[in-house]
């Protein structure tokens, strides 16, 4: 590999390329509506360019790539039966490119560089929101909420949460030059401040769960391998018991009250009921990916009017599974459920094995964040969103890591003629 190509596609040599690329991507995900189509084209360019230079980045180990691309491929296929084929075709291509970019990034970006680029990008995002200092009236909650430069307080809280995760990972799990510590500290403090000011219950709860997952993954990996599975099983059993007990004791209602929410989840339960009724009309294949929220559809117009969405855009069913059910039916729902299962299974599988503890903690936190947010948001089933990009990144990284660990373990097994002590420890792709 020549030096010039390595400076773009080699994770050990391409910091100068991938860190700005990740920072740019974060800004585009946050403010593409503000900055226009050119920002989206810039995002496409920085990740498709490495693939064009070296297609083997993905083609060398295509199994996991093909598996993960089944979801965007099915979204694209739904154009064939979509009620709004032009909307489905456009959105599915955009989603496919976003997801594909995440796969390319996973193969050429180290976890530390992802965290560094994410920290820089989030700092700029939060700074731009602070400069705009916007408030909006929430017709459902009946009060004003700080939303910065976003159209929603939930989006502000979302990026504030990511800012905290990225920056704290640089301090806690990755080796970071001291010269960067002031910037990291400013990002972490800004993220905490913006998260609190956003007053977003979804963001606060998902942040708590994400950091719990980070600490739990780190704790489990301190244990001997034979203790890890038992610890995880006991923890999951305990969590399930606590959830069931809280249902009977009214803890859920108390939690909602603590965040100033009612039992309708500020109108989400009504929205979900409407979605179930609409989805039941074409339950197997759905209306077509992104085909529901189009101008002129009576049900969409009625929901926009009910929830005071005067722009008649940027709205959704506030649940990744329900949104998918309406758009692509039970078949598409099966694909997204499989993706959610992978977000649980792949980090656990990696934690049970061997690898870089810091990177596994980092990815476990991000996986937990997207799983929790899927209950109230559609982060990883829509185009040009940080969730679609990072979920692809996380899963391919974990697939590659587990594959490398298995391969190293098979090489380290003693044979009749020789042993391979030098291969007894798997370094994996995280080192």
**Residue 428 within any structural domain of the chain:** yes
Of 150-154, 325-329, 422-426, give the range with the top mean pLDDT.
325-329
Q: Are 321 and 333 in contact (CB under 8 A)?
A: yes
| CA atoms of 238 and 244, how far apart (whole Å) | 10
> Domain for residue 356, yes or no?
yes
Is the backbone of residue 392 left (phi > 0), alpha (psi -120 to 50) or beta? alpha
Evaluate whether residue 99 is within a structural domain: no
Q: Are residues 362 and 262 in the same domain?
A: yes
Task: Please check whether residues 148 and 274 belong to one and the same domain.
Answer: no
Question: Is residue 327 domain-shared with residue 364, that is, in the same domain?
Answer: yes
Instruction: Please report the pLDDT score of residue 425 as a whole number.
Output: 30
pLDDT at 173: 85
Structural domains of the chain, count = 2
Q: Is the pLDDT of residue 200 over 90?
A: no
SS3 of 362-389: the string is HHHHHHHHHHHHCCCCCCCCCCCCHHHH
Q: Are 43 and 24 in contact (CB under 8 A)?
A: yes
Residue 75 in any domain: the answer is no
11: in domain: yes
């909307």: which residue's tokens?
87
How far apart CA 110 and CA 40 sit, in angstroms, is 23
In a domain, 69, yes or no: no
Average pLDDT (196-223) is: 90
**Whole-number Å distance between alpha carbons of 160 and 119:** 10
- Four-point Cα dihedral 21, 26, 32, 37, nearest 10: 20
* Under 8 Å between Cβ of 195 and 241: no
pLDDT tens digits along 248-281: 666 666 666 666 666 566 678 889 999 999 999 9
pLDDT bracket for residue 393 (50, 70, 90): very high
Based on the fold, state whether residues 152 and 218 are members of the same structural domain: no
Q: Which two tokens stand for residue 196?
A: 């609190």
For residue 415, pLDDT beyond 60: no
Model confidence at 355, pLDDT cuts 50, 70, 90, reads low
Same domain (yes/no): 16, 163: yes
Tokens describing residue 146: 């700080």
CA distance 32 to 35: 5
Tell me what the mean pLDDT of segment 294-304 comes to.
Answer: 92
What does the alpha-carbon distance between residue 217 and residue 197 come to, in Å, rounded to a whole number?
A: 29
* Structural domain contains residue 145: yes
Domain extent for 35: 1-60+109-199
Tell me, what's the pLDDT at 429?
36
Q: Are residues 146 and 214 in the same domain?
A: no
**Apex CA 367: angle with CA 201 and CA 212, to 5°?**
60
Out of 9-18, 145-154, 156-165, 283-292, least confident range: 145-154
Residues 364 and 299 in one domain: yes
**pLDDT band, very low/low/confident/very high, at 235 (cuts 50, 70, 90):** confident
More confident residue, 25 or 354: 25
């Amino acid at each position: 590999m020549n030096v010039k190509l390595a400076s773009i596609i080699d994770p050990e040599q391409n910091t100068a390329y991938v860190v700005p690329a990740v920072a740019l991507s974060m800004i585009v995900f946050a403010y593409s509506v503000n900055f226009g189509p050119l920002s989206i084209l810039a995002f496409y360019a920085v990740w498709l360019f490495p693939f064009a230079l070296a297609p083997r980045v993905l083609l060398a180990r295509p199994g996991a790539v093909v598996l993960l691309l089944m979801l965007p491929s099915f979204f694209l296929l739904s154009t064939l039966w979509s009620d709004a084929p032009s909307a489905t075709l456009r959105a599915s291509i955009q989603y496919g490119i976003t997801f594909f970019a995440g796969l390319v990034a996973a193969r050429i970006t180290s976890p530390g560089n992802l965290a560094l680029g994410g920290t820089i990008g989030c700092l700029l995002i939060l700074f731009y929101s602070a400069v705009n200092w916007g408030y909006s009236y929430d017709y459902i909650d009946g009060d004003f909420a700080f939303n910065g430069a976003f159209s929603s307080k939930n989006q502000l809280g979302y990026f504030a949460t990511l800012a905290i995760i990225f920056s704290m990972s640089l301090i806690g799990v990755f080796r970071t030059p001291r010269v960067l510590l002031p910037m990291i500290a400013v990002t972490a403090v800004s993220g905490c401040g913006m998260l609190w000011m956003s007053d977003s219950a979804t963001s606060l709860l998902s942040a708590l769960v994400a950091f719990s997952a980070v600490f739990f993954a780190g704790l489990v990996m301190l244990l001997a391998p034979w203790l890890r599975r038992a610890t995880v099983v006991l923890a999951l059993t305990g969590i399930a018991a606590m959830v069931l007990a809280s249902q009977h004791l009214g803890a859920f209602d108390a939690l909602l009250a603590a965040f100033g929410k009612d039992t309708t989840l500020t109108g989400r339960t009504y929205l979900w009921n409407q979605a179930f009724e609409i989805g039941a009309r074409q339950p197997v294949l759905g209306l077509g990916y992104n085909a529901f929220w189009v101008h002129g559809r009576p049900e969409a117009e009625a929901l926009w009017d009910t929830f005071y969405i005067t722009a008649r855009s940027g709205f959704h069913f506030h649940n990744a599974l329900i949104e998918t059910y309406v758009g692509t039916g039970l078949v598409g729902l099966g694909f997204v459920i499989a993706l959610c299962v992978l977000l649980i299974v792949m980090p656990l599988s990696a934690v049970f094995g061997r690898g870089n503890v810091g990177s596994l903690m980092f990815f476990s936190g991000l996986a937990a964040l997207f799983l929790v947010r899927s209950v109230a948001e559609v982060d990883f089933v829509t185009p040009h969103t940080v969730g679609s990009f990072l979920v692809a990144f996380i899963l391919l990284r974990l697939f590659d890591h587990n594959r490398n660990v298995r391969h190293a373990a098979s090489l380290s097994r003693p044979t009749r003629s020789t042993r391979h002590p030098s291969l007894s420890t798997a370094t994996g792709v995280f080192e």
